[in-house]
Amino acid sequence: MQKDYQPDLNGSDEIYGQEELIERAKSADALLVTVTDTLNREVIERLPRSIQMIATFSVGYDQIDVAAAQERKIAVSNTPGVLTNATADIAMLLLLGAARGAGNGEQAIRQNTWRNWAPTGFLGRDLTGKRLGILGMGRIGRAVAKRAQAFDMEIHYHNRSQLPEHEEAGAHYHDSLESLLPNCDFLSIHAASTPQTRGIINTGTLQALPPGAIIVNTARGDLVDDNALISALKSGHIGAAGLDVFNDEPQLDPRYRTLPNTFLLPHLGSATLETRNAMGFCALDNLDAFFAGKALPNPVTL
């Protein structure tokens, strides 16, 4: 970027407020943003006329009002594909960590409270032979299914449409969430954040899961109603939750920290050196294409 552009870099990695974003955009032709930069309609309408493109360093783009950008004829791009494997790996880590109570075991070691091996100590749940439901069978959902099949899990999924048979790889399609949920010993969430999916994991959907089901979320925190999930975790209807994303992160609901049946990570889905580099170069490829007058490799459109 420094070779090809004149960047105004955020060297301290602070999260800019809306006024700061607008002010820094005054001397720019494009913005390279992340999931922490909120570009709602108000911000986009106040951006200087010099801004021609917004490239987000992420697959998700729910922090950007794409409709407002298109009205301003501002191009928007994202970075799909390059973080599929890293995020699928984290989903499996969460499945295992939540099922086996790995957080409690790790804390016992660090806090020096582990006294002895016991036949009923730190009991968890097997993955082998269990039913894994996948909500959203895109690239990441399919990568999770592939990994879970190595644990001999039975894969069920709900998607906007059924996949071709060769992409299903033996997974069972459900044409509704209501059909999927009773078939989930584990549920892994991989849907995009949209007005239709926000809060989709709520009291009703949680009650439709079998007692003791385990939930994993590597998608977006706003897909989950925190009050409903915390209540279900406390009652035991949901056996455990493995969460990498949260509402209002990093200021997650503090009650999650106190629950022994949670396994929590600080949004590590794409956090490998290889993946973050690939995301950055993907964002630059989109910028390069735009200013060369070529089609964007990864355009975001409504």
147 has pLDDT over 80? yes
Please give the model's pTM, rounded to 2 decimal places: 0.92
Pair 201, 225: CB distance under 8 Å: yes
Pairing state of beta strands 238-243 and 262-264? parallel
- Give 114-134 pLDDT, tens digit per residue: 999 999 999 999 999 999 999
What local confidence, expressed as pLDDT, does residue 186 receive?
98
- Give 243-291 pLDDT, tens digit per residue: 999 999 999 999 999 999 999 999 999 999 999 999 999 999 999 999 9
302 has pLDDT over 80? no
**Band of residue 27 on the pLDDT scale cut at 50, 70, 90:** confident
Tell me the residue length of the chain: 302
The whole-chain average pLDDT of the chain stands at 96
What local confidence, expressed as pLDDT, does residue 270 receive?
96
Three-state secondary structure along 157-176? Answer: EECCCCCCHHHHCCCEEECC
Q: Looking at the annotation, which residues are catalytic?
A: 220, 249, 267
* 88/61 Cα distance (integer angstroms): 19
**Band of residue 181 on the pLDDT scale cut at 50, 70, 90:** very high
% of the chain exceeding 70 in pLDDT = 100
Pair 148, 96: CB distance under 8 Å: no
What local confidence, expressed as pLDDT, does residue 92 receive?
98
> Alpha helix locations (H) across the chain?
18-24, 41-46, 66-71, 84-100, 102-110, 139-149, 165-168, 177-180, 203-208, 226-235, 255-258, 273-291
For the chain, domains (ranges, CATH) are 18-82+272-291 (3.40.50.720), 84-264 (3.40.50.720)
Phi, psi (deg, nearest 5) at residue 15: -85, 120
170, exposed or middle or buried, with CB in 10 Å at 0-12, 13-18, 19+? exposed
* 167/285 Cα distance (integer angstroms): 28
